Chains A and B, each alone.
Chain A
Amino acid sequence: MSSFFYARLAASNIKKNRQIYVPYIITCIITIAFYYIMKSLSLNEGLDSLYGGGTIRQTLGLGCNVVMIFAVIFLFYTNSFLMKRREKEFGLFHILGMEKKHLMRVTGIETLYIALLGLSFGFLFGIVLDKTMFLLILRVLGREVSLGFYISREAIVSTITLFLAIFFLIFLNTARRLGFSKPIELLKGSNVGEKEPRANWLFAIAGVLCLGAGYYLAVTVQNPVTAIMVFFVAVILVIAGTYLLFTAGSIVLLKLLRANKRYYYKTRHFIGISGMLYRMKQNAVGLSNICILSTMVLVMVSSTTALMIGSDDLVSTRYPYDFTYYGYETHYGDIDYANREALFDQTLENNGLTKTESVRFRILNFTAVKEGDGFTIREGIDSAGFLEDFEEMAFITLDDYNRSMGENITLNDDEVMVYSNRSKIKSDKLVLDDFEFKIVKQLQAFQCVGSGALASNITSSHIIVVKSPEIIDALYEYQKERYKDMAGGIDYIYGVDVDGEDEAQLSAYEQIRAGLGQLGIPENEAVGRVESRVEGAQGFYDIYGGLFFIGIFLGLLFTVAMILLIYYKQITEGYYDRERYVIMQNVGMSQKDVKASIHSQILTVFFLPLITAGIHLFFAYPIVEKILAILNLSNTRLYVYCTIGCVAVFSLLYVIIYGWTAKLYYAIVKK
């Protein structure tokens, strides 16, 4: 009987306070759905079929942890706001004869209701959203992506565990507050003035340092291989810096401004600074959340969009010719490829494909370790130190170069020309242990098959044009002796461009592979292989389609979370400002001035995160560019355009959300 009474009281409490409870419950639902989706995505086996699927799953796993921290901070924060508004009510119950343990029981049941509501609707929403987004993006892409839809039991269990724990902690916190409070204090409740925030110099300085360090790392990172690791460190530093600066830094700055009396005692500054001090105290955490979410959305959406749009570019970098045959040699020119080339030409013709262009040349590939200005080959790659110091060397002969570029250059035996895809060789000499060449020319562009294969390599690569096949043979022998089994080889490359349908190209590709088998030269490591651009492109679209899907998916999720945050903030601000509004008018500020002053504060509060996100994005550019380079996207201008586009769309969305929630705000204030 009595427990039924508490259950009913708890239900009616939530109903009575629905104005503040509805947003809270929605927040819970969204946070739970959000976590569930992240978790289930990170457990999705479909990801493994993607290029770098392991890394993506790892990243999503990290993302889950971020969401977890975010959920704890956010739910705690909103709940404490709720409880503060309800203190008076608790005080009243207290005075009407309810003991603290009864109150705790009621709040316990309330929390349980919220948890149940949140979890059930959270899962419903999460699963529906998962499915809808999947279908939607599939339609947008117009092609299959390899991410299936499924309901993950593991994700559900982990979500339930996590959120029950969070709700339990929230309940303990409420109980603690009730336990320590005195009825009379509760009754006064929110009438007790908010304490002025303290300026915490230590945190502010730590914030500046964190942010500075994060930016510095992002800007100075040189090597694409280390970029991903550095990126995570930088992200954590920037997140910490943002929180510290928004919470402590803003207060310190405002207090400094206030200390300047002549500046402070001006109508606009006077109201603005003191208003902002309290606003920042209450909102700093919420605003940093908005800022970080916005940055994440922008980086993710713009980079995956760039990859998606740029995938044609990527394909043509990776596959410079429609059809390519790679043959592996151990001596320069020791194998005759006439029968294979004949098979190529014949099969293409049979499939109605006209040959428009063809090239053939040989290239020697191996890895060297950078040492001072020169390079060295050490025995045993494991002992060679950091991956960062590895550079890829590719040698071709001058004849092949002249033929494929249509030029007529001459070189001496000790002279070379160099094309570097990432970092240039700074000295005018190319030194490799005992070999020494004079670099007579740094090539700006070099379009040949070899550069395509190198482009997909994440390390720095150099294509070196040497005078004669003898030099290549000498280099080959030298590195073979050092590397033994791991040695590089001389590739014979035959590239053909054709005119014709994709379908025909695909079937030609299959026929060539079958034909090679019949000739007794199957594809294997020792002999060679065939590549088709059309066939390879399918794989690329698959990969980038998947990445794009994840980018847009998470982008939308973060945006939804952000909309809720902004909505919540506006409502909070509304209740808070209502009283001030009236008092300021009574003291002789015109309604227009009051409105203008509050409006400008609200604007600052809401656009500060957006502007900060923009700055973060600006500093993230160098590092994101390098990570994209690993994914074969070297068209940085495309990334810049995508970013600008995303920022524009996002800002528009932000302004619309702001405008819509501002209406709610004024409705509350004017009541």
Chain B
Amino acid sequence: MAILEVKSLNKIYTTRFGGNQVEALSNVSFLVEQGEYIAIMGESGSGKTTLLNILAALDTPTGGEVILDGKNLSTVKEKQMSAFRRDNLGFVFQDFNLLDTFSLYDNISLPLVLMKKEYPEIRDRVETISYKLGIHELLRKFPYEVSGGQKQRVAVARALITEPKLILADEPTGALDSSSTDSLLNLFNKINEEGQTILMVTHSIKAASHAGRVLFIKDGEVFHQIYKGSNSNQEMYQKISDTLTFISTGGELDE
């Protein structure tokens, strides 16, 4: 069953004085199955970020629709949008987006507090998730006291704690060193194996090679996709690398 349906999305930006029109996305369609782990790759300016913003309901498409778990995003009222986003989506950002006035504990519990959960439930869920992600020792600390990798784990914990239908990750490894990147990607694989659907936008071949499927976007269109299947991470890495070389040298893909 598809948890996310993206149907012929268009996004046209008009410059301020109404002169030039820029097509950021054109006729983008794909399905994400329950429990899938998808990476979306593309160069800067290819439309990745626009796509992610539309999926996150932070931006509205010019045409086409996004259906999350049977619900068309365009039918969600503006007022309920924040709540809808909070209840259904979990976000992981490149620069963590942790609030430095909150302890890590409070950062993780923020979505639950916003959902008006009672304290005992908050406590139990924060406890469970922090053990699972190996950050239990750190909870009393503040964001400025821990490393980038630890911050990103906290951000993942915050995204997971609401048990969202879909995790949207925007360049999650972008600000991490290589060992933190490895451990974060392993963490994503682990939660994906437990059934969590993940959609990740990335530049990094390494990050993409951990995903079950990679979509390539070029000039606002879905250009190509690769399934991992039974390939190992290394084989997947090679395939992605070849595809990217191919795209950047500008050739048409043989059918």
Contact = CB atoms under 8 A, between A and B. Distances in A.
A266 B100 contact: no
Contact of A193 (B86, B123, B142): B142
Nearest to A276: B101
B100 to A, nearest CB: 4
B100 A193 contact: yes
B82 A588 contact: yes
A267 B142 contact: no
Given A278-B101, A583-B97, A589 B119 contact: no
Interface string B97-127: 1111111001001110110101100110000
Given A265-B119, A590-B82, A593-B82, A584 B99 contact: yes
A193 B144 contact: yes
A400 B116 CA distance: 81
B110 A587 contact: yes
Contact of A274 (B81, B83, B106): B106
Interface string B114-148: 10101100110000000000000000001110000
A568 to B, nearest CB: 21
Contact of A266 (B91, B113, B143): B113
B101 A590 contact: no
A566 B140 CA distance: 34
Classify chain B: how many residues form its interface, as a range: 20 to 34
A270 B144 contact: no
Contact of B99 (A195, A261, A264, A580): A580
Contacts of A196: 101, 103, 142
A590 B106 contact: no
A193 B97 CA distance: 12
Contact of B110 (A266, A270, A592): A270
> Interface SS of chain B: helix, strand, loop or mixed?
helix
B85 A267 contact: no
A272 B197 CA distance: 34
B79 interface: yes
Contacts of B144: 192-195
B114 A267 contact: yes
Contact of B143 (A193, A582, A589): A193
B113 to A, nearest CB: 5
Nearest to A269: B113
Contact of A267 (B79, B91, B101, B113): B113
A197 B101 CA distance: 10
Interface in B212-254: none
B66 to A, nearest CB: 18
A580 B93 contact: no
Contacts of B97: 582-583, 586-587
Contacts of A194: 100-101, 144
Interface string A180-215: 000000000000111110000000000000000000
A270 B81 CA distance: 22
B86 A588 contact: yes
B165 interface: no
B101 A274 contact: yes
Nearest to B95: A583
Interface of A: 192-196, 261-262, 264-267, 270, 274-275, 277-278, 580, 582-593
21 contacts: A192-B144, A194-B100, A196-B101, A261-B119, A261-B123, A265-B113, A265-B118, A266-B113, A267-B116, A270-B110, A275-B101, A278-B101, A583-B98, A586-B91, A587-B97, A588-B82, A588-B111, A589-B82, A589-B86, A592-B79, A593-B114
Give me the 4 closest cross-chain CB pairs, A-B, nearest first: A193-B144, A588-B86, A590-B82, A193-B100
Given A583-B98, A588-B114, 6 more contacts: A265-B109, A265-B118, A270-B113, A274-B106, A582-B97, A587-B114
